[in-house]
Structure 1
Amino acid sequence: MTTAMGAALRRIQLGNALSAFGNGFTVPFLFIYVSQVRDLGASTAGAVLAIFAVAALAVLPFTGRAIDRRGPLPVAIAASVTAAVGSMGLGLADSEPLVIAAAGLLGAGIAVIQPTLATMIVWCSTTATRSRAFAMQFFLNNLGLGVGGLLGGLIVDTDQPSSFVTLFSIEAVMFLVLGAAVATVRLPRVPRVDDAVPTDDRANGGLRALLGDRAMVQLCALGFVMFFACYGQFESGLSAFAVEVTRISPATLGVALAANTAVIVLAQFVVLKLVERRRRSRVIAAVGLIWTVAWVAAGASGLVHGSQAIATAAIISTYALFGLGEAMLSPTVAPLVADLAPSSRVGQYNSAFALVKQLALAVGPAVGGLMAGAGMYVAYIAMLIGCSLGITVLALRMGRRLTPAQDSPFRAPAPVPTPRAEREPVTASV
């Protein structure tokens, strides 16, 4: 990696960390803010949370083509400004229509930021450095969210709406800082995904060509199951199970969530050294087994009678095991999406995978919430154990379709270098 590209990547990562820091100020308190502080009720607060998913699903189908045609920089800047306007709007809105409109802008902006930053990281990295770059992004995201949430908890006061205006103002400023950071980045005109990607006519196609890429379709199906079985359950079925069946307190649930973040932050780079030279499909398969153990531990916590300490430890272990799996996936899945993409379709591949993630995050809480509400906890745990085992099976099947360079770049034969014209840097132009 050149010095210039290293500097560009550092700016992208800094902007990403600061935006996550700002996001952490508001995410834990959004439901309380809408329902209690603005006195709009729980139904409106639920609608606001749903709007985030709806907005993401509305904009992501068009995001990839915009990134590939205009470049990721102008799209990232526009998304950052949109998210900042939405965040500030939420802080000032005092009626249901305004709150929902602001949430739509914020959700759309955040949804677009994700694939643009992923594409920029691809453009500023090589096959050999990409896993570490995405691991760093995931680490900084979690660190920023955690620190932001901690500081936000010190500022927030449900009796003082002005304290929430402060939180949303900080978030808006951080999005603008992200936009300013990426505006100064200089990228190569061609993404560095050669030597690990197919070179056939898929590079000239659109959605039809992407759907014709069997490996990418299998990765998207695998991604849906992963996000459904993990992230999609944190705030719905799993938390309900922990409180209703395991009988832990909400405060202890907060400790479990903190354990998840702590494992990610503390273990990320240790895990990276262990997995970056191994086959990606097998790393993902191992995550499926780890999450199977996590769901078995969660189920066992509801069967322990007479020892609340053991039951509580089992639930905390569940969240910690999820964090370990997430740390293994961060240097594995996103680089694989990039290495599957033809060089002219990196934005579309990243956006397609982000769309799959949003679908899972919309369906997962709905299914988990409905099953928890109906008291179907045995069926719920059994379903998610099956999903986790399915991750292992799907990952191994996908591995058969991957080339050696896609599945394990460090172990693949070195490509024969070919002459190439010097890349010209590109800056943002809106």
Structure 2
Amino acid sequence: MGSALRRIQVGSALSAFGLGFTVPYLYVYVAQVRDLGAGTAGVVLAVFAMAALAVLPFTGRAIDRRGPLSVLVVASAAAAVGAVALGVSAGVTTTVLSAAVLGAGTAVMQPALATMLVRCSDASTRTRVFAMQFFLQNLGLGIGGLVGGQLVDVGKPSSFTVLFLIEAAMFVVLGVVAATVRMPQNRAVTGSTSGEAAAPAAGLRALLSHRAMVQLCVLGFVIFFACYGQFESGLAAYGTEAAGIDPSTLGVALAANTAVIVLAQFVVLRLVERRRRSRVIAWVGLIWAFAWIVAGYAGLGHGSQTMATAAMISTYALFGLGEAMLSPTVAPLVADLAPESMVGQYNSAFALVKQLALAVGPAVGGPMGASLHGPYIVTFVLFSLGVTVLALKLGRRLAPHQDNPSLAPVPSRVVAVSLPESEPAVAPAATR
């Protein structure tokens, strides 16, 4: 990778390291350490998610008009302020407001970072770039969580304040590192005279008329709803209630998930990077369907407790394998579908879909996983098979070089153009 890419990846990994310090302990911090109660802790977690939903619809336009670098610097500064404020907040109002600022800042960073990676890569390297980001972010989250767990003490609020200050420092580092990056010139920002420069004016209407992108967003919602939206809610409730595993085992299962991602990422990358993206995503659906069947055995199979525990840990590990296969396929595909002048809007739209799935997933899966054990497993086996069906349907709408980037004729620093179907095609700009 070039110097710009290395700096972006380092900053992204450090911000994930900072998040790992606090995210696993946010509920405990609000409910027990600050003694604000479970109700307030639930409100804080909801506000954290809702703030992201509030800012993401406006983020894409800002990225495409102002550039991802400036947006990222502002977002990292806002996240740092929110983290510091949350670390010293003791009242309900200040805690909720701090969580809103932190949630908004971290949400905006995602599409800004993705757009920077797109601008600093080309169709031939983008798959590995996003796989590297996913690998480093998971590694950062895992290490941050482990280190944070050694520092926290429920009886000492100051220990949690230290965690939030470390998190804030990592966001500041991200902003500083990003500010040193020299981004390639973007014609959409600097004012090209080509017909494509007017694309941002169409905004949401143009995106919704792009059927392949709409199908990818639907597929993305199902992916995040059926997997990520269940990790800390429905699947955790199912594991403790139906499978009878000890709550501490959930930490082992999450560690197994992260370990599989870290260990398998680049092995998986070598296997999938020259294959059709839609087929790889379809295989992920089948792997996750099998994972849910294994979870069904853990809670409904009437085996020994040891077998049930092993089955639940295996479920999380299988999800990790699927995640490792998705990282080099879905995010680069969003970039390759986007017109050059709308990369930020496409990334923000997909981030919004992800956030919606992460908000709806726990609300649906939590109650089902706790009480409707059989229907819960059947429902998410079907959702996982739905991933396979939707991926194969999407593959029929993709151009050959979008579905398999190894077929791209010429490497380019300009993101592949795929205009909405209602618009006339525009010849790609000459590479430099």
* Match of residue 109, structure 1, among 105, 127, 134: 105
2:78 aligned with 1:85:
no
Task: Specify the code of the residue in structure 2 equivalent to 1:359.
Answer: L
- Could you tell me how far 1:370 is from its partner in structure 2? 2.5
Following TM superposition, by how much is the alpha carbon of 1:190 offset from its aligned partner in structure 2, in angstroms? 2.4
* CA pair 407-142 structure 1, distance change in 2 beyond 3 A: same
Counterpart CA distance in 2 for 1:327 and 1:318 is: 14
Residues of 2 paired with 1:106 and 1:140: CA distance? 21
C-alpha spacing 1:153/1:408, structure 2 compared with 1 (3 Å): same
**TM-score, normalized by length of structure 2?**
0.92
Shift of 1:409: 1.1
1:285 aligns with 2:298: no
Equivalent residue for 1:368? Answer: 365
Matched, 1:235 2:232: yes
Q: Distance in 2 between matches of 1:138 and 1:306?
A: 36
Residues of 2 paired with 1:383 and 1:309: CA distance? 26
Figure out how many residues of one structure are paired with residues of the other and give that number.
Answer: 412
Cα displacement (A) at 1:397: 0.2
8 A contact 1:84–1:176 mirrored in 2: yes
Shift of 1:398: 0.4
Q: Is the 8 A contact 1:124 1:191 kept in 2?
A: no
User: What's 2:335 paired with?
Assistant: 338
2:290 partner amino acid: V
Matched, 1:139 2:135: yes
1:253 Cα shift? 1.3
Q: In structure 2, what residue type is equivalent to 1:273?
A: R
1:263 is matched with which residue?
Answer: 260
Tell me if structure 2 keeps the 8 A contact 1:222–1:391: yes
Is 1:252–2:249 an aligned residue pair?
A: yes
Indicate which of 286, 296, 306 corresponds to 2:293: 296
Moved over 6 A (4+): 198-201, 415-419
Deviation (angstroms), 1:308: 1.3
2:400 aligned partner: 404
CA contact (8 A) 1:34 1:40 kept: yes
C-alpha deviations, 1:32-58, integer Å up to 9, x for none? 000000000001101111111100000
**Which residues in structure 2 correspond to 1:137-176 (within 5 Å)?**
137-176=133-172
Aligned positions of 1:202-221 closer than 5 A? 205-221=202-218
Residue type at the aligned position of 2:388: T
* 1:220-244: CA deviation from partner (whole Å, max 9, x where unpaired): 0000000000000001110011011
Q: Kindly report the root-mean-square deviation, in angstroms, between the aligned alpha carbons of the 2 structures.
A: 1.9
1:387-398 equivalences under 5 Å are: 387-398=383-394
* Alignment match of 2:310 (pick from 296, 308, 313): 313
Tell me which amino acid in the other structure corresponds to 1:249: D
CA offsets, 1:305-329, max 9 Å, x none?
2511111111111000000000000
**Of the candidates 60, 63, 82, which is equivalent to residue 64 of structure 1?**
60
Q: 2:72·2:178 contact (CA, 8 Å) conserved in 1?
A: yes
Residue matched to 1:181: 177
Moved more, 246-255 or 330-339: 246-255
Structure 2 unmatched ranges of 5 or more: 189-194, 413-426
> Which stretch of the first structure deviates more once superposed, 21-30 or 217-226?
21-30
Q: Which residue of 2 aligns with 1:380?
A: 376
Asked if residue 130 in structure 1 is aligned to residue 126 in structure 2, the reply is: yes
